Amino acid sequence: MRLIIATRGSKLALWQSNHIKSLLEDMGHEVELQIFKTKGDKILDTPLALIGGKGLFTKELEDAMLRGEAHLAVHSLKDVPTQLPQGLMLGAITKREVVNDAFLSEKYESIEDLPPNAVVGTTSLRRRMQLLHYRPDLQIKDLRGNVDTRIKKLKNGEFDAIILAYAGLKRLGFLESVRFVKPIDENLMIPAMGQAALGIECVPEVLEVVETLNDKKSQIETEIEREFVDTLQGGCQVPIGVRAQLLDNGDIITKAVIGMPDGSELLKDKIIGNVENYSDLGKELAQSMIENGAQEILKRAEEIAFAEHKR
Ligand SMILES: NCc1[nH]cc(CCC(=O)O)c1CC(=O)O
């Protein structure tokens, strides 16, 4: 089959699209990339949480597929909103290895080694919240841009440390280029829904081809994570962390966190289920947290983020 992949132009997006391109070529297909700019690529000076709207990194690619200009798009699953436009589907979720966030520094070995008032770069409310909860003495400074830009800023000495997804660093071969790179314990920093997985969105005509790239374990875990976030009505730009882990014995442990971006309040919960019957785990965990005030906390978190930005 002749297939067109709609892709963003960032290094990470191109790596991911080329990775899927070569897997499809190995299966005998002819594959071409088409580059599109998304809103998230154009607005570089505003924290994503404040640009608003879902699908900042996906909409233009989806529009291209709906216009018939492309058959599929390879996304970082965590950037894909929980609800897809009509006519498109997630045909495959790829295997994830290290799901954790990573600590990166040229000077310090770990979060524990950071001195008081050390400057840490991240714009993610989820990362800021969990880091400040653990180390209220740290200073968090905004850091946006592509993965390569963010590493350049760390190397320029603007930050004592930064936080990025381990998976993205590994794909781009950056694990060796920074002096200290360390996965952060998931109990300290719960990742974002879908982190480390690629989500391949496609038109129905190519579903049969795309499906062959699906990893069942990754699909089950991320379905739970996405249902959790969907039930709470949050995108990837809100202070929500969730991680489902399917163990070899079939048990599934799902842990989640929501809270205030300044780390002053954190609500954590978990649910244990089994792969034989996992379809409602995400919803059940969300409902349990809603009973404990989750939505009220998320609403306050959003108000504070906007007020801070206006100042
Ligand atoms: N929001 C940007 C984004 N989307 C996916 C990844 C990393 C790779 C992944 O989680 O699959 C990143 C960068 C980061 O958070 O460090």
Q: What is the CATH number of the domain that holds 125?
A: 3.40.190.10
Ligand 1 mean position, distance from CA 77 (Å) = 9
Residue nearest to atom 2 of ligand 1 (CA): 79
pLDDT value at residue 65: 98
Same-domain status, 300 and 229? yes
Ligand 1 binding pocket (C-beta < 6 A) is 76, 78-79, 147, 164-165, 167-168, 195-196
| Alpha-carbon gap, residue 189 to 287, rounded angstroms | 22
CA proximity to 269, closest of 252, 283, 281, 286: 286
Q: Which two tokens mark 160?
A: 């004592």
Choice from 143, 147, 226 to test ligand 1 binding pocket (greatest atom count within 8 A of CB): 147
Same-domain status, 156 and 18? no
Confidence of residue 232 (pLDDT cuts 50, 70, 90): very high
Mean pLDDT, all residues of the chain: 93
pLDDT value at residue 46: 66
Same-domain status, 286 and 253? yes
Bridge partner list, 103: 163, 182
Same-domain status, 82 and 118? no
Q: Is the pLDDT of residue 109 over 80?
A: yes
Whether residue 192 is contained in a domain is answered as: no
Whether residue 29 is contained in a domain is answered as: yes
pLDDT value at residue 48: 62
Ligand 1 mean position, distance from CA 226 (Å) = 16
Q: How many domains does the chain have?
A: 3
Whether residue 124 is contained in a domain is answered as: yes
Same-domain status, 159 and 142? yes
Residues 6+ apart with CB under 8 A from 78: 165, 192, 193, 194, 195, 197, 236
Helix (H) or strand (E) run with residue 254 in it? strand 251-259
Same-domain status, 60 and 204? yes
Q: Which two tokens mark 144?
A: 């946006």
Q: Is the pLDDT of residue 128 over 90?
A: yes
* 39 neighbors 65 (Cβ within 8 angstroms): no
Same-domain status, 252 and 297? yes
Active site residue 262: no
Same-domain status, 75 and 207? yes
| pTM, to two decimals | 0.94
Structural domain boundaries enclosing 244: 215-306
At 44-85, the pLDDT tens digits run 666 665 665 678 889 999 999 999 999 999 999 999 999 999
Whether residue 31 is contained in a domain is answered as: yes
Same-domain status, 19 and 65? yes
Same-domain status, 179 and 222? no
* 104 neighbors 180 (Cβ within 8 angstroms): yes
At 150-167, the pLDDT tens digits run 999 999 999 999 999 999
Ligand 1 mean position, distance from CA 276 (Å) = 30
* Mean pLDDT within 259-288: 96
Same-domain status, 210 and 229? no
* 94 neighbors 83 (Cβ within 8 angstroms): no
pLDDT value at residue 235: 46
Type of residue at 294: A
Single residue among 140, 161, 183 that ends a domain in this structure: 183
